[in-house]
Structure 1
Amino acid sequence: MEKQSKIYVAGHRGLVGSAIIRHLQEKGYNNIIYRTSHELDLRNQVSVIQLFEQEKPDYIFLAAAKVGGILANATYPAQFLYDNLMIQSNVIEAAKEFGTKKLVFLGSTCIYPKMAPQPLKENYLLTGELESTNEPYALAKIAGIKMCSSYNKQYGTEFISVMPTNLYGPNDNFNLETSHVLPALMRKIHKAKINKEEAVTIWGSGTPLREFLHVDDMASACVYLMENCTFEQIGEFVNIGTGKELTIRELAETICEIIGFDGELRFDSTKPDGTPRKLTDVTKLHELGWHHKIELKEGVQDTYKWYLENVNEHE
């Protein structure tokens, strides 16, 4: 990418999109375009075509998606499937039609089978049944991977796919009904401290293992791959993660330590755990020349600082 290349970041207000813009600006890229969801509904093909006719972006980071945790996925399965299929299909097709030089499609490691061997290698895709609690979202993202690789084979495009592990950081969603586990725990534990509560109740048994990547590291990886790596080098997709894991209980204890909450943690095992373990194999990523820099404790401290400065407790 040239510093003046026109770069479209789809989903620029989200967790990943906003971090990608920060990272691009830090590196001196100054021709970045974006639209809010009110200005442009990416589910609408006509609107997407109009954007591409007007802007003709050279490079695209496709970070726009409908995302959420177990509760959100269970409540809105049709929306998770439809919205994500429409968003990615419209943008990928328009990128091909208008000659975009390169596109990075962002997915998620929930694409892997529920009982896939650990750590998760890229070639485990479609080798077993998906986790039922996020199947619609996972199916949409798998379709996006296949769409990118199919377009590359048929049309000679350069569309690459990246599958991040659990992400967190500034601009995360802290809504207790729709957020992922780390921001949900942070808000719950913070409120318990403020309200001087004796205990915090957490969904599930606390035993599932999870891996977490700070969103600034994710942005760094996306820009690095855009600048340096081709579809031929990457293959169908590449995992983005740390290769390190901890239990939900250990995560909650880490957050308690940073927030300063010394009450009891109670685990409600009547609630679903989701996938028992989800650790990425990051061998390919390391071979491509990128490693994460932000460790979990430092990242949680950074995120909590942002939370205190930016989140309205009454929202």
Structure 2
Amino acid sequence: MPRGNWAGKKVIVTGGSGFIGSHFVEELLTGQANVICAYRRDNRGVLPQLPVSDRLRLAQVDLLDEKALRVVFEQEREHGGIDAIFHCAAVSGSVEFRRDNFAQIIDANMRAVSNILMVARQFDVRDSILLSSSDIYLSPTTNPIREDDDFKTNMHYAQDGYYLSKMYAEILAEAYRMEYGMNIFLPRLTSVYGPRDNFEVGTDRVVPSMLTKVADGQNIEIWGDGSQTRTYMHVKDVVHAILQMVESGKYHTLNISTTEIVSIRELAQFVCAALGEPERVTFDLDKSGGRQSRTLDVAKLYEVIDFEPRSLRDGLSDTADWYRRFRLNR
């Protein structure tokens, strides 16, 4: 869905062998961009799923290695330089991992963001896009949550390395924008799902976890009564929305979400239906299901995008098709 603005542009995508990053690589190639897929490792076998194209170059690099990252940009400077960088790489994990390893996560994610912004400034990259998260709204005061309900008005501490690193990234981006006049975009993502999602043990991602349990004939266990509500956006719609956010240039900070609000119980039912399996859902009422709701205000988003994100049912059907092809046959 890129509308032609990316044709002939040179773009680097960090975390290109990851979930969201791989879809940026794919869509930018569709938009006729020249793409550098920067990755540290491909332990999930994502790279072979990318399109074959002479406009795609792979660059294995550790973002914590400033010198190695600089070499990638220096090589491209000889051929016109980089027009945009989409920073999708991040260390995350389950709630427990983020709590128990929060020093490691903060350190890795902070240094990566610092290095990315530094080389983007030094090599005159026109647009820098840092994927942020709705997790930054730790204690929102608005419902639905607006973009201005952020660290500028409501900052909180939590022993959560991912949350703290995303907060740091936004603060540093704001500082770079003010001091150096850089064009930096911060899309704040709702829960994202879709093909090539992360099914690794310990990531604790909701949709992959549910898909795996249903496919293995197990029950989906929901903490609480399942009435807590969330929003979920298909990864391709997320990518399309962010590309149009950058193309329009209207907002540098933007909630990326859908208007479809579903309960955790409904999500489990939809996952079972997507795999053509009977509902196998249990509830543990002694455990907390977390925040009762998290809904983002998307009024500004709909000023930017020219499409309607797909329904959760349709998106899960697409995800289930990919899961059958690439996961069940491994």
Instruction: Give 2:35's match in structure 1, choosing from 7, 29, 32.
Output: 32
CA distance in 2, matches of 1:174, 1:313: 14
- Higher mean alpha-carbon deviation, 206-215 vs 260-269, is at 260-269
1:232-267 deviation per Cα after TM superposition (whole angstroms, max 9, x unaligned): x314x1101112211111100111122233254112
Q: Give yes or no for contact 1:119–1:279 (8 Å, CA) kept in 2.
A: yes
1:100-137 deviation per Cα after TM superposition (whole angstroms, max 9, x unaligned): 0111110110100235332110111134465957x321
State the SS of the aligned residue for 1:123.
coil
How far apart are 1:291 and its partner, in Å? 4.4
Q: Give yes or no for contact 2:269–2:279 (8 Å, CA) kept in 1.
A: no
- Identical positions, percent: 29
The reply to whether residue 213 of structure 1 matches residue 217 of structure 2 is: no
Q: Give yes or no for contact 1:111–1:130 (8 Å, CA) kept in 2.
A: no
How far apart are 1:35 and its partner, in Å? 2.4
1:18 equivalent in structure 2 = 22
Q: Does the C-alpha gap of structure 1 residues 116 and 191 become closer, same or farther in structure 2, counting only changes over 3 Å?
A: farther
Q: Does the C-alpha gap of structure 1 residues 85 and 279 become closer, same or farther in structure 2, counting only changes over 3 Å?
A: same
Alignment of 1:1-315 (within 5 A): 1-29=5-33, 31-38=34-41, 39-55=60-76, 56-126=81-151, 127-128=153-154, 132=158, 135-192=160-217, 197=218, 199-229=219-249, 233-235=250-252, 237-312=253-328
Which AA in structure 1 matches 2:19? L
Which AA in structure 1 matches 2:283? F
CA distance in 2, matches of 1:262, 1:27: 40
Q: Give yes or no for contact 1:202–1:268 (8 Å, CA) kept in 2.
A: yes
Report which structure shows greater RCO (CA 8 Å, sep ≥6). 1
Q: Give yes or no for contact 2:109–2:165 (8 Å, CA) kept in 1.
A: yes
How far apart are 1:36 and its partner, in Å? 2.2
CA distance in 1, matches of 2:291, 2:202: 19
RMSD of Structure 2 on Structure 1 (CA): 2.2
Q: Give yes or no for contact 1:71–1:178 (8 Å, CA) kept in 2.
A: no
How far apart are 1:77 and its partner, in Å? 2.2
CA distance in 1, matches of 2:14, 2:264: 31
1:165-201 deviation per Cα after TM superposition (whole angstroms, max 9, x unaligned): 0000111012342131111111111111xxxx5x432
CA distance in 1, matches of 2:288, 2:111: 29
TM-score normalised by the chain length of structure 2: 0.85
How far apart are 1:217 and its partner, in Å? 0.4
Which AA in structure 2 matches 1:94? V
Q: Give yes or no for contact 2:128–2:183 (8 Å, CA) kept in 1.
A: yes
Which AA in structure 1 matches 2:142? P
State the SS of the aligned residue for 1:124.
coil
The structure that is helix-richer by fraction is 1
Q: Give yes or no for contact 2:222–2:264 (8 Å, CA) kept in 1.
A: no
Q: Give yes or no for contact 1:149–1:160 (8 Å, CA) kept in 2.
A: no
TM-score normalised by the chain length of structure 1: 0.88
Question: Mind listing any 5+ residue stretches in structure 1 that lack a counterpart?
Answer: none
Aligned length: 303
